[in-house]
Structure 1
């Protein structure tokens, strides 16, 4: 899924074979925007579908959905092609639009680039009004540009802190377990909690920040852009990073982030939290199965700390859309309607543990429903910010919906990594902001009419 996409590296368009997922999106040839509409077609016949090869459980769920769709009616036949996850985005990028499938999956932050390069069509005319209405607001925020929808997801994502109740209680740390009691859960209070926990810990390492994955990658952006948003900043505001990414409040927040390093377990074995070495783990919903198994009733789920503009989380994940050159948009839409029904969304989210991206499946989910162990994640997604109006009251922020996102995530995550390594936050953020703005200026702001 997108939060764990591999390192972005800027490459020449001829060097895509060397690139890893978001790297493939350097604006290569063409672009310049312009809406592209798939042809409606007859609504009958064979349609091609591409998807990323994920966990085996996800693949099995998708294959079963295709099989049941094909056997449920005789008008449309779906031919599914699974492409290894590490090759998926660069495969779409390297494939001419005329050779792309009728329906394709894509990693959420890549959508705007595919629209910009005329590889995705708006889906509003082809999926049913019921399907659109049942999509969560957070999912729709990731999939919309200029009032048109280009993608909808089966599942979403979210961040939080997992806590070890036994260790937190033994240290006397008070902590919130819901958004409703998060008032006062400030960055300063979080830092104070780390100091208290350290005093009770022989090794002094009490926090897991997934350090072993590195930060100069999509995890760096997904995992820690919430600090920027919670400080009242933004990765991009009105098409510019300068003044938004490097504003004083963000610089101060990044100094606080930097100050946590002495408390962090490098977690090279991936078991710092599960084995009880640390009391807190800053990560997403995907670690719940392993953590729940390891800690049982000692597991707590907390919101991220508030840097002044309210607690924030990232959101967004893989989504589905229609190829811009499809000649059978009606059939593609019919398949998407089926794919996004409760039965199939529930089967997929049971397979991967992610929060469902449809209202009805989310409300019925044993994990995410009211009173469920991961209700916090659903509550966060129920307060979406989109990618522009990041107020104090909203929580789930969409990464910038722009064809220039690869540059944003590359420059921000590099800055974050250097700050964690000891660099001056003000200089690192200002340098990143200038590089982002330079790239946007060189590409006319990546405007999509």
Structure 2
């Protein structure tokens, strides 16, 4: 799976990249009993250990440069960085006793609540400066917040959209959105597929990144926006029943199911870049390849609106403080530097992701107003968090809960079965029951 796809890929304590994403996490830890974990402040000086995932080479170089620059800029704190292969990263944190974890660690966003639940992360409030917190985008703060406390902040975020081939759209007479305020309805999107099919030799006009599999984190990250846009939710007040299995979500997934005849399986990964399809439902990470392939014919469009406004997933890798650190002040000092605009810009230049600080985002050539990926910035500027999913907000955080491994496994299984022809209502009912049963068995995964 390419580096961009790692924005939604996770590993677990089995040591395998999950096809049922994060599922093993739920069974790997102890439990969330007792009081909140608070790191020791320490002296604010000395050597601190930092763990991070080994990504694409350009990402690794940007991080190594940030650490080298920090170490050479002052003499009070020295950072020792350890890179762990991405496929092994989450399972390594999961399998490591909390007392053996580093002072600072990176984690993939949806894993955070499980690590908090199992007392592996401490709140960063009071150690990271108010300036750093204030400059973080609302969406990235939502990913890292539980009960009013912040446990993580990211250097970058993510987003979904539909890339379009202007030449093919125009040839089929398809009118397409110019931005969020001009979004197309689900019915208009379906009509566009039909119009494109009429001009297409094999009738395949849409790429859904099917090769990544739908019973994976891609299934949840890529297509939970359909649920949210239909007015539903993966989880509401700790329950899936009445949130995930509503008539509106059932109807929306029937529409999703109806698109299958138009979908190119994209086994070679080049359906859109080679012009076989006119539309590709994917994230920001495909922009470099698509821009190079299509040039001025590339357009960037929001996902369709199923009634509650267009929605997108968001969230990515973030940074936090180990619950058992003896030097949280020094950890906070390093995070303040790591999350400044110089380092955020270097990292997002390396990986093409959405900058997660307000000031770096505003200055980004790709994401600034008038930039080719302005849509993604516009979406991030309207965060929903993970619970208050109104019509006016756009970027939704996947449920911040220690039970997320079960939520994503059961939803993505349901989505995959619907795509394969199963009755949406039956699949959603089954998923909701399984999620609620797991939550009941685990006392709601309450984090004190």
* TM-score greater than 0.5 by the shorter chain: yes
Q: Which residue of 2 aligns with 1:26?
A: 26
Q: Which residue of 2 aligns with 1:11?
A: none
- Report if the CA contact (8 A) 1:5-1:22 is conserved: no
Q: Does 1:145 align with 2:149?
A: no
Q: Does 1:196 align with 2:195?
A: yes
Give per-residue Cα distances to partners, 1:341-374, cap 9 Å, x unaligned.
0000000000000010000000000000000000
CA distance in 2 between counterparts of 1:98 and 1:7 reads 21
Q: Does 1:5 align with 2:6?
A: no
CA distance in 2 between counterparts of 1:368 and 1:116 reads 35
CA distance in 2 between counterparts of 1:29 and 1:332 reads 24
- Report if the CA contact (8 A) 1:2-1:108 is conserved: no
Q: Which residue of 2 aligns with 1:309?
A: 308
Change (3 A) 1:220 1:375: same
- Report if the CA contact (8 A) 1:24-1:93 is conserved: no
Q: Which residue of 1 aligns with 2:136?
A: 135
Q: Which residue of 1 aligns with 2:248?
A: 249
SS in 1 for 2:300: strand
CA distance in 2 between counterparts of 1:103 and 1:264 reads 43
SS in 2 for 1:385: strand
Q: Which residue of 1 aligns with 2:423?
A: 424
Q: Which residue of 1 aligns with 2:238?
A: 239
Report the CA distance between 1:6 and its aligned residue. Answer: 5.2
Q: What does 1:65-144 align with in structure 2 at a 5 Å threshold?
A: 65-144=66-145
CA distance in 1 between counterparts of 2:369 and 2:377 reads 8
Report the CA distance between 1:7 and its aligned residue. Answer: 7.9
Change (3 A) 1:277 1:19: closer
Q: What does 1:291-330 align with in structure 2 at a 5 Å threshold?
A: 291-330=290-329
- Report if the CA contact (8 A) 2:11-2:90 is conserved: no
Give per-residue Cα distances to partners, 1:201-256, cap 9 Å, x unaligned.
11100000001111000000000000000000000011100111010000000000
- Report if the CA contact (8 A) 1:16-1:94 is conserved: no
How high is the TM-score relative to the length of structure 1?
Answer: 0.97
Report the CA distance between 1:318 and its aligned residue. Answer: 0.2
SS in 1 for 2:319: strand
Give per-residue Cα distances to partners, 1:38-83, cap 9 Å, x unaligned.
1000111000000000011000000000000000000110000000
Q: What does 1:33-432 align with in structure 2 at a 5 Å threshold?
A: 33=33, 34-182=35-183, 185-432=184-431
Report the CA distance between 1:173 and its aligned residue. Answer: 0.3
Q: Which residue of 1 aligns with 2:14?
A: 16
Q: Which residue of 2 aligns with 1:12?
A: none
CA distance in 2 between counterparts of 1:203 and 1:28 reads 47
**Moved beyond 4 Å, runs of 4+:** none
- Report if the CA contact (8 A) 2:38-2:323 is conserved: yes
CA distance in 1 between counterparts of 2:369 and 2:70 reads 31
Report the CA distance between 1:93 and its aligned residue. Answer: 0.3
SS in 2 for 1:390: coil
- Report if the CA contact (8 A) 1:415-1:432 is conserved: yes
SS in 1 for 2:214: coil
SS in 2 for 1:397: strand
SS in 2 for 1:125: coil
SS in 1 for 2:265: coil
Report the CA distance between 1:24 and its aligned residue. Answer: 3.8
Report the CA distance between 1:30 and its aligned residue. Answer: 2.1
CA distance in 2 between counterparts of 1:213 and 1:447 reads 32
How high is the TM-score relative to the length of structure 2?
Answer: 0.97
- Report if the CA contact (8 A) 1:120-1:323 is conserved: yes
Report the CA distance between 1:134 and its aligned residue. Answer: 0.3
CA distance in 1 between counterparts of 2:402 and 2:447 reads 8
SS in 2 for 1:37: coil
Change (3 A) 1:18 1:317: closer
Computed over aligned residues only, the root mean square deviation of the Cα atoms, in angstroms, reads 1.2
CA distance in 2 between counterparts of 1:17 and 1:294 reads 36
Report the CA distance between 1:2 and its aligned residue. Answer: 5.5
CA distance in 2 between counterparts of 1:364 and 1:100 reads 35
Change (3 A) 1:104 1:229: same
- Report if the CA contact (8 A) 2:10-2:90 is conserved: no
Change (3 A) 1:68 1:7: closer
CA distance in 1 between counterparts of 2:54 and 2:178 reads 34
CA distance in 2 between counterparts of 1:259 and 1:299 reads 26
